[in-house]
A = this chain, B = another copy of it.
Amino acid sequence: MPERTFGEIAGFPPGSTFTNRQDLAASGVHRPLQGGICGGKDGAESIVVSGGYVDDEDHGDEIIYTGQGGRKRESRQQTEDQELVLGNVGLARNSIEGLLVRVIRGAGGDKNYSPATGLRYDGLFRVAEYWHDTGRDGYRVWRFRLVADDEAVSPEVGSEDDVGPVARASTTVQRLVRNTQMAQQVKELHRHTCQICETRIDTPAGPYAEAAHIRGLGKPHHGPDVASNLLCLCPNHHVMFDTGAIYIGPDWVVRDSSSHGAISRLRRAASHPIDAAQLAYHKAHHVP
């Protein structure tokens, strides 16, 4: 399986149209010739919404998308329960990891939002939530609430006055995707295991951890947007770190900020060096 490409595909901005699935596949915007979801355990990069499932709902900026499986080829009817596997677990993974999915609408979909013929790429959506339900045909369907990602097209306040609005939006999208990928890489490298307590949260959508910035990005902290400024933490230690309940000394010992007693030692990986200067910044500004 080729590595997944999340985010926009160069040369195919939102609004790009395609005559058929062959055209679409060739562009790289949605690679499979038949499947509605291009995804697996590592997330879903793109989906096609084309009215194939009776439980789909299209509201424009919000789509309730039905997962795959449970129906016979060429039939719109469900005859079996859907499972949280393949493309379905891919979309669930997007939800817990904050990965954006490319949405392509086909002519068979809701007539208010779908192209009259062929297919159209309609931009990046986030998977706001997912759950399962009994579909209209009486079998379990997984449902995904997709929301158009406005952030992806709002230009950031910054130093990009030299680019036009389209270029700026695209730059912003790619930066968001790049940052998400960096966080993903750090988490994968640590196998989604907390560098402080070794907790790993296993969920039906795969392992869960958080990439915590040591020194905050943007105003007022201006931390660098690099992997050496990230830690892989469980949510509990993320809260403790952000609130200054704990800090990490130059000896890599994790200490309680009220007693200064040692709690553990930060587990490090040769392929993920941590910038001790950022840890010193954290202690200097967040620990009372």
B131 touches A83 (CB 8 A): no
Which residues from B are CB-within-8-Å of A216? 129
Interface string of A186-230 (1 = CB under 8 A from B): 000000000000010111110010000000100011000000000
Most buried by B among A96, A235, A257, A286: A235
Task: Judge whether A181 is part of the interface by a CB distance below 8 angstroms.
Answer: no
Given A202-B245, A257-B204: A132 in contact with B240 (beta carbons within 8 A): no
Please give the distance in Å from A205's CB to the nearest CB on chain B. 6
A208: which of B132, B220, B239, B258 is its contact (CB, 8 Å)?
A: B239
Which residues from B are CB-within-8-Å of A30? none
Task: Judge whether A73 is part of the interface by a CB distance below 8 angstroms.
Answer: no
Q: How far is the CA of A258 from the CA of B288 in the complex (A)?
A: 42
Q: How far is the CA of A243 from the CA of B205 in the complex (A)?
A: 7
Given A64-B220, A220-B145: A131 in contact with B285 (beta carbons within 8 A): yes
A244 touches B203 (CB 8 A): yes
Which residues from B are CB-within-8-Å of A221? 131
Please give the distance in Å from A215's CB to the nearest CB on chain B. 10
Q: How far is the CA of A221 from the CA of B243 in the complex (A)?
A: 32
Task: Judge whether A5 is part of the interface by a CB distance below 8 angstroms.
Answer: no
A239: which of B131, B201, B240 is its contact (CB, 8 Å)?
A: B201
Task: Judge whether A137 is part of the interface by a CB distance below 8 angstroms.
Answer: no
Task: Judge whether A84 is part of the interface by a CB distance below 8 angstroms.
Answer: yes
Task: Judge whether A234 is part of the interface by a CB distance below 8 angstroms.
Answer: yes
A84: which of B204, B236, B288 is its contact (CB, 8 Å)?
A: B288
B245 touches A239 (CB 8 A): no
What are some 14 contacts across the A-B interface (CB < 8 A)?
A64-B220, A131-B286, A132-B285, A132-B286, A133-B285, A145-B220, A199-B236, A201-B245, A203-B244, A204-B287, A204-B288, A208-B243, A234-B235, A235-B238
Supply 18 further A-B pairs (C-beta < 8 A) apart from A83-B288, A131-B220: A129-B216, A132-B285, A132-B286, A133-B285, A199-B236, A201-B236, A202-B245, A203-B243, A203-B245, A204-B243, A204-B244, A204-B257, A204-B287, A205-B243, A208-B243, A234-B235, A235-B236, A236-B236
